[in-house]
Structure 1
Amino acid sequence: MTEEPADKSSKGLGGLSPALQWVLLVAISAGIAASLIWLRAPAPLMLGPLIAGIIVASNGGKPRMPLSAFVFAQGVVGCMIARMVPLSIVGDILAHWQLFTVGVLAVIGASTLLGWLMTRLQMLPGTTALWGISPGAASVMTIMSESYGADVRLVAFMQYLRVVMVAGVAALVAKMFGVTAPHGGDAIAWFPDANWLSFGETLVVAVVGPLIARVLRIPAGAMLVPLVICIVLAHVGLMTVELPPWALAVSFAFIGWNIGLRFTRPLLLYVARMLPRAIACAAVLIALCGVVAWLMVVTIGVDPLTAYLATSPGGVDSIAIIAASTNCDVSFVMAMQTVRLLAVLFLAPVLTKFIAERVSYPNDRHP
């Protein structure tokens, strides 16, 4: 395997103490998020920390992001979605199952075809494109790719590069359609009066939900299990989801940092030669999903922003946060994203393995 460049922790921000690195990361995140709020950009509380994470990590910083914090943040986002999505989401899926089936299979089919074509043309080493382009389930695709000879580092880079690009493009599309953040920077009541009992119940679900998902080994369950629990309990009147802005801001920051801090300088240097092709690959997939969204607009009259967010390839938590800051049909977006996420978890590994076994190359691990 090609050696990854050594991480010189003594250079750049790596020479600072972990505490100072975190202070710097939080300060940069706050500054960028405040700027995005002032610009009334969608999802500023996630995109700000995400950009800050890339800046810090690519300059040698290595703040350790606890996995438990990220899992908890996913649980909070699941609760947030439940607050916006009614129990009727199941009825919506069943009532429009043809639409969801076509939309989901179109996105998966487009990604599989693109990965196969790039693999056949050897635009990226071996089967890297095939594993790296799968729309969603980034951790699953990354782990499985190593078993089939692909370079896991490049696959991981492609997966999380796409997540970043999808989040950025989705925010830009929301801006293009005249959608802005619902509050200006000086209008957000960060510490409003809250029902602390309801808030405590919500936090319990955000913690217990991911634990249940882990025990039952439910893929992507850290967000999906709290979402289902909150929808059901709220529907029968046993709880009210309470999430003050400051709690959401912390959770959004955890998610943004988890993505941004993966883009370290050693990884960026390692894939520099492949970067244009990786960006082009992700851009083509995003464009193909945009075509699927356009077909939904012209055939069944879904509003453009809702259609685009519903078909965006991957980063379901990022899309949920962006959708929450717009006036799109959040229920439709999350229903489509959830169905596709489940489909990807079951179908994409099978399709990817099937194709990879037939187009593999002996130099998969050598960019």
Structure 2
Amino acid sequence: MQGLTIRGMRWALLVALSVLLAAGFELAGLSAGLLLGPMVAAIIFALRGSAMKVHTRLFQAAQALIGILIAHSITGDIAATVIADWPIFLGCTVATLSASACLGYLLSRWQVLPDTTAIWGSMPGAASAMTIMADSFGADSRLVAFMTYTRVVCVAGVASVLAALLTGTAHGNVVAELFAPVSWTVTVVSLGVAIVGAVGGVALGVPAGALVGTLLLGAALNLAGLAAVALPGWLLAIGYALVGWRIGLNFTRETVRMAKRALPRVLMAVAALLCFAFAIALALTRLADIDLLTAYLAVSPGGMDSVAIIAASIKVDLPFVMAMQFLRFAVVLIAGPAVARIAARRFVGE
């Protein structure tokens, strides 16, 4: 009973700190405060040895909610954009994946991180899939997770600061957005889509299946005009918090202790990857005639769910961002493990 009470108090404190930080980030003009607040709060608790974790089912539920958020933005214009500009989309995807693989190979070759850990940790997106594949290949999955989620946190932070610098204000009226009216019929249908899509995606064994399954089902219904999908802002905020806690609580004291010596070099590697992504974004602004913030979010090597949350909270071309992110996500899931294996085998062979 006492253990349950202590655990409950910890979660209550985490919720309270998350709300305070989220409000602070929003007032400071940073985007996605509803994601960054819980994420930072969870990191603080994790590094203090709280031994807390977000249950997998809850995280899958949060992914399903984010899937609805993305599906809502998928329109016929996205398909037309991808078809019309497919060389740009494919080129950016290949460039990001190639840069990540090369960076990981160099970090391994220079022994910044042990064995093939850096190769797997440098793969953009599909964090859970890369962690699982790394473990099966003999790399240290804890360090891979550390590097992956460090990159996600950095991407989210840079995107928020960039949004504030480029737009002057990174968000609108947060309270109004949280309680903006959404039809109960649409909400119920969307929750049904989320449940069916999440269960189906997980059952099929697709990495991030709850997110992908819900996204595909919701987008198909949306594009076909059979059903509109949307959720109230307050419900999405719960999903944001769960995603932020899941990421932040992965920063355990044990993992950080193991990675302490490599942390400066890991941060340098992440910075190099972000600079490369920014260079691609600059080129994209000329090739696709889009604004810099949209281009950066489209090619940023963070998780698709966190990027979706950030993109939805600021004025960017959300369909373009999610089209690029989804295409890269698909390519990483299909080709990422193979690319990592090839680089890893070559490194081990030397």
2:184 maps to what in 1?
196
Query: Hey, which of these two has a bigger chunk of helix by percent?
Result: 2
Q: What aligned pairs does 1:255-334 form with structure 2 within 5 A after superposition? A: 255-334=243-322
Match of 1:123 in 2: 112
The 1:324/1:123 distance shift into structure 2, 3 A limit, reads same
> Paired residue for 1:224?
212
* TM alignment of 1:145-160, pairs within 5 A: 145-160=134-149
Report the Cα distance in structure 2 between the residues aligned to 1:318 and 1:246, rounded to whole angstroms: 17
Residue identity matched to 2:147: M
Match in the other structure for 1:11: none
Q: Distance in 1 between the 2:206 and 2:106 partners? A: 32
Moved more, 63-72 or 18-27: 63-72
CA shift for structure 1 position 232? 2.5
Structure 2 residue identity aligned to 1:349: P
Number of aligned residue pairs: 348
Does the Cα contact within 8 Å between 1:290 and 1:308 map onto a contact in 2?
A: yes
Please tell me whether residue 208 in structure 1 is matched to residue 196 in structure 2.
yes
| Structure 2 CA distance for aligned equivalents of residues 280 and 15 of structure 1 | 41
Match of 2:37 among 48, 51, 58: 48
Question: Aligned partners of 2:188 and 2:37: how far apart in 1?
Answer: 27
For residues 80-129 of structure 1, what are the alpha-carbon distances to aligned partners after superposition, in whole Å with 9 as ceiling and x for unaligned? 12222313322221221111110000000111111112222222212221
Q: Are the structure 2 counterparts of residues 88 and 220 from structure 1 closer, same or farther at C-alpha, using a change threshold of 3 Å?
A: farther
- Structure 1: runs of 5+ lacking an equivalent: 1-13, 363-367
What is the deviation of 1:178? Answer: 1.7
Matched residue SS, 1:224: helix
Kindly state the Cα deviation for residue 189 of structure 1 after the two structures are TM-superposed. Answer: 5.7
- Whether 1:343 and 2:348 are equivalent positions in the alignment is no
The answer on whether the counterparts of 2:299 and 2:325 sit within 8 Å (CA) in structure 1 is: yes
Tell me which residue corresponds to 1:4: none
RMSD: 2.0
Q: CA 1:81–1:179 in 2, change beyond 3 Å: closer, same or farther?
A: farther
Q: CA deviation at 1:68?
A: 1.1
CA positional deviation for 1:182? 3.4
TM-score (norm 2): 0.94
Q: Given that residues 42 and 179 in structure 1 are in contact (C-alpha distance below 8 angstroms), is that contact kept between their aligned partners in structure 2?
A: no
* Contact 1:297–1:304, Cα closer than 8 Å, also in 2: yes
Shift of 1:207: 1.6
The answer for the alignment partner of 1:3 in structure 2 is none
| Distance in 2 between residues matched to 1:243 and 1:353, nearest whole Å | 40
Residue 98 of structure 1 is matched in structure 2 by: 87
Q: 1:345 to 1:274 in 2, by over 3 A?
A: same
Letter in 2 for 1:356: A
Distance 2:342 2:91 in 1: 22
Query: Could you give the per-residue CA deviations for residues 212-256 of structure 1, whole angstroms, max 9, x where no partner exists?
Result: 112222233322222222223234443232311210111110110
Greater CA deviation, 230-239 or 158-167?
A: 230-239
Deviations 1:128-170 (A, max 9, x none): 2111111111122212222333222111111111111111111
Deviation at 1:174, TM superposition (A): 1.2
Where 2:262 maps in the other structure, the secondary structure is: helix
CA separation in 1, counterparts of 2:100 and 2:218? 32
Residue type of the partner of 2:107?
A: M
Deviations 1:306-326 (A, max 9, x none): 110000012111111111111
Partner of 1:66: 55
Separation (CA, whole Å) in 2 of partners of 1:189 and 1:359? 50
Q: Percent identity?
A: 42
Aligned to 1:249, which of 237, 240, 263? Answer: 237
Unaligned 5+ segments in structure 2 are none
CA displacement at 1:184 relative to structure 2: 3.5
Contact 1:40 1:183 in 2 (8 A): no
Q: Is the 8 A contact 1:25 1:52 kept in 2?
A: yes
